Amino acid sequence: MFELRKVRYREVLHVHELNIEAHKVTCILGESGSGKTTLLQLLNEMITPDDGTILYRGRSIAHMDPVLLRRECVMVPQSPVIFSGSIRDNLGMGLKMSARAPATDDEMRESLRAVCLSKELEEAADRLSGGEKQRLCLARALLMSPGVLLLDEPTAALDEATSLEVLTSITGRARAEGISLIIVTHSRSAADLIGENIIYVHQGKIVSREVVSS
């Protein structure tokens, strides 16, 4: 799905060669500051490399419309982006910005269930806790049914038990819909639970890759 060849971004990340498979759960592990988030941002051209080539399904992303690429490869940052208004308003924003048909209330409620968030659609989004806001952003992204979800520490604001529950649920939803998941996480236990491929980043370099299951 993604192919990286001799990619360099400043002094933060140097990737000689990396392939990321479609329809898999790929976890990116590494210490803080190792370049994990930078790698994620390169994949949907939130940032551009200084050197090298990144291919998405055989096409160089440098020659793709970045807006269309980001609609296909949706990124959820670690810090939740919340809009004013209700939970319903926030859930619909991704579809609206992608110029897609709005979701039904039932579809919105299903997306909330997928992230283990028990809230009413009419509730004010800005009254949610940090962990709830993070899950609302995940639900919004799932509702878009993209080809790829790029998740940067998607459950960092949650305790470990809730985090694993949410990640397991998201993974099940993604597999059912054929969504490829690429997840930056600091949790080895989370990677062991949901990951099919694990990429280790250390000091800006890919140091190993582990295939957990086929």
- SS3 of the chain: helix, strand, coil, percent, to 5: 40, 25, 35
Q: What are residue 210's phi and psi, to 5 degrees?
A: -120, 130
Q: Per residue in 133-156, pLDDT tens?
A: 999 999 999 999 999 999 999 998
Alpha helices in the chain (DSSP H): 36-43, 66-72, 87-97, 105-114, 130-143, 160-177, 188-194
Q: Is 155 helix (H, G, I), strand (E, B) or coil?
A: coil
**Cβ neighbourhood burial of 212 (10 Å; 0-12, 13-18, 19+):** middle
Q: Per residue in 34-89, pLDDT tens?
A: 999 999 999 999 999 999 999 999 999 999 999 999 999 999 998 889 999 999 99
Residue 198: is its pLDDT beyond 70?
yes
Q: How far apart are CA 199 and CA 210, in angstroms?
A: 7
Alpha carbon 170 to chain centroid, angstroms:
11
Q: Per residue in 61-71, pLDDT tens?
A: 999 999 999 99
Residue 213: per-residue pLDDT:
58
| Residue 188 lies in domain | 2-211
Residue 124's domain is classified under what CATH number? 3.40.50.300
Count structural domains, the chain. 1
Show the tokens assigned to 197. 């491929």
Q: Per residue in 168-194, pLDDT tens?
A: 999 999 999 999 999 999 888 899 999
Residue 187: per-residue pLDDT:
85
The pTM (predicted TM-score) of the whole model is: 0.94
Q: How far apart are CA 18 and CA 41, in angstroms?
A: 15
